[in-house]
Structure 1
Amino acid sequence: MPQFAANLTMLFTEVPFLDRFERAASAGFTAVEFLFPYAWKAEEIKARLDAHGLRLVLHNMPAGDWDAGDRGMACDPARVEEFRAGVPQAIAYAQALGVSQLNCLAGKAPAGVPDALLRQTLVANLRFAAAELNAAGLRLLMEPINTFDIPGFYVNRTSQALEILDEVGADNAFVQYDVYHAQRMEGELAATLQKRLSRIGHIQLADNPGRHEPGTGEINYRYLFALLDELGYSGWVGCEYKPLTTTLAGLGWRERLDPNGCDC
């Protein structure tokens, strides 16, 4: 059975963010992830991690004004300076919080910008970020995101992400593979994991439709968990889903979908 990290941006939202660490530990999680740490001091977050014996396995690099609709900016040629200014900030938080990898959101394609320029900008920004992260001993991730939930998101398929990373040419750059986004855009989940696992640095999950917890939709997560065990995946699987009712009420999926558990 894979090891799961609670995504605190999506889970335990009934309490303020800093109180979600205690909720995650009480629910049996030993690791957490979230979108962004930058609204809080690193010391505040580190204190919650330490107090509850939790490991932070992932957060994102600065992605613009989220509340205003930004979903990253790495592909935007008008925001290169802003993107690159966020890299040292992300590294500083990662080092303070013990994170070994950071996710870069490519962002939505700005209207009227040729695809060739978008790709050129993204590749150059990823090369810059990968070099800076490598010097700090960190891995860089890039996540394809479906265009149903985020219309216009520039990187939306696994093959596209891999082609871009090939062009970047950095040994510390990997795909962040979100099963939910992949199911909506391309399917072929098992085949992709079998073929591309060496290029995948982190996995996230949610079921489809609805982006709820595993077992509420069409994805055969029991099979996928068994496959990840068979393939020897040793990383974390981030639980980035919207609970169908409450987080605690839905957590039974961990036992029900355990490949080594009973079928009753």
Structure 2
Amino acid sequence: MQRRSFLRRTITAASVIPVSRAFSLTDHEMNSSSEKTFKLNYAPHDGMFVNHAGKNLIDQIRFMHDQGFRAIEDNGLLKRPVDEQEKIGKELVKLGMTMGVFVVDSGDNWKISLTTGKQEFIDNFIRTCKQCVEAAKRVNARWVTVVPGFYERTLPIGIQTANVIEALRRGAEVFEPHNLIMVLEPLSDTPDLFLRNSDQTFQICKAINSPSCKILFDVYHMQRNEGNIINNIDKCWDEIAYFQIGDNPGRKEPTTGEINYKNIFKHVTSKGFKGIWGMEHGNANPGKEGELALIKAYREVDNF
């Protein structure tokens, strides 16, 4: 299956509905936001607008929609009860919104696991992939995040890489029949993580050679690990299926750090990308004012 048949989605151009009574904003707050859908498909996450919408995720999703967002992310979706997953899925359909990534969380992501080649870790990973297929159906998701765990430093790097490729190839076989994409995310949280750079992830995707194994290019992590963001996006372009956002330093919304997101958005959009940009960051400031400042920051960088 061709990559673009997986990835290209149009972004609805309609204006958002007025903010509901449940989230009634002051005139000042309403003037601080826009009722128009964002040009790009940014995806907030649970808790990002809790001061306006409350702790209930369905209410948060409605608030996100009212502010012009047309997607969400939910890393912890797999751990939510089935009935809650179904409610989320129904609400997203009702509002015309898309579920972004959730994590293939086998419990082994943050320790030495797939790099070892041990069957116990492979079996756990495959079992979790199968659970993700069912969860994805409930929320109409198309992407799941995969983290292969830590280095096994007693093994040569080539052996570790081969072990990871073999495990991920098995995962791709689970996802392919369902048109789901596992997106591999190189991270900067600790040097113990095996997957650290975009070129390394590109190499693994090429070796697996599946439409169900692509790159999640998190701009924050890649700025910390390698920099040269636009050039590295271009080099890895054929294998990128998903982007995430976070400014550096601080991992907060765009405009709070050093990354020129306007230029990145402009460049990636010019290449034809119409997928999701996950808002994988915190709020720079607390409370309702911080949430409004976040929305304002996205209005600014969306204007390119």
Report the TM-score range of the alignment, normalised by the length of the smaller protein. 0.7 to 0.9
- Alpha-carbon distance in structure 2 between the residues aligned to 1:72 and 1:230: 39
Gaps of 5+ in 1: none
Partner of 1:83: 125
Which is further off, 47-56 or 202-211? 47-56
Shift of 1:51: 3.0
Structure 1 residues 24-33 or 88-97, which shifts more?
A: 24-33
Aligned equivalent of 2:57, options 11, 14, 18: 18
Q: Is this contact kept in 2: 1:141–1:173, CA < 8 A?
A: yes
Distance (whole Å) between structure 2 residues aligned to residue 49 and residue 210 of structure 1:
32
Tell me if structure 2 keeps the 8 A contact 1:71–1:105.
no
Deviations 1:186-218 (A, max 9, x none): 111111223332210000010000101000111
Show the counterpart of 1:253. 297
CA offsets, 1:144-183, max 9 Å, x none? 111xx22311010000001111222223321110000111
Checking the alignment, whether the CA contact within 8 Å between 1:7 and 1:33 is kept in structure 2 is yes
Structure 2 CA distance for aligned equivalents of residues 205 and 72 of structure 1: 27
More helix by share: 2
The alpha-carbon distance between structure 1 residues 132 and 163, as it changes in their structure 2 partners (threshold 3 A), is same
Alignment coverage as a number of residue pairs: 254
1:98-247 superposed matches below 5 A: 98-146=140-188, 149-245=189-285, 246-247=290-291
Distance 2:113 2:216 in 1: 17
Point out the more displaced range, 93-102 or 41-50. 41-50
SS of 1:75's equivalent in the other structure is helix
Amino acid at match of 1:87: C
CA distance in 1, matches of 2:106, 2:187: 14
Tell me which structure has the larger Cα radius of gyration.
Answer: 2
Q: 1:145/1:97 Cα in 2 relative to 1: closer, same or farther (>3 Å)? A: same
Name the aligned partner's letter for residue 43 of structure 2.
Answer: A
TM-score by length of structure 1 reads 0.87
What SS class does the counterpart of residue 250 from structure 2 fall into?
coil
Cα contact 1:62–1:72 (8 A) shared by 2: no
CA 1:23/1:74 → structure 2, altered by over 3 Å: closer, same or farther?
Answer: farther
Stretch of structure 1 that moved more, 27-36 or 203-212:
27-36
| Corresponding residue of 1:6 | 44
Q: Report deviation, 1:13.
A: 5.6
Alpha-carbon distance in structure 2 between the residues aligned to 1:172 and 1:39: 22
Distance 2:160 2:237 in 1: 27
Contact persistence 1:208–1:217 (CA under 8 A):
yes
Are the equivalent residues in 2 in contact too, given 1:206–1:241 (CA < 8 A)?
A: yes
1:60 to 96, 103, 125: 103
Q: TM-score, normalised by structure 2?
A: 0.76
- Supply the distance in 2 between the matched residues of 1:62 and 1:179 (Cα, whole angstroms): 22
Cα RMSD for the two superposed structures = 2.3
Aligned mates of 1:258, 1:21 — CA distance in 2: 20
Post-superposition, which runs of at least 4 consecutive aligned residues in structure 1 deviate over 4 A? none
**Secondary structure in structure 2 of the residue aligned to 1:227:** helix
User: Is the contact made by 1:204 and 1:238 (CA closer than 8 Å) also made in structure 2?
Assistant: yes
Kept after mapping to 1: 8 A contact 2:104/2:128: yes
State the SS of the aligned residue for 2:43. Answer: strand
Report deviation, 1:17. 6.2
Identical-pair percentage: 22
Contact residue 7 and residue 239 of structure 1 kept, 8 A? yes
> 1:11, CA displacement in angstroms?
2.3
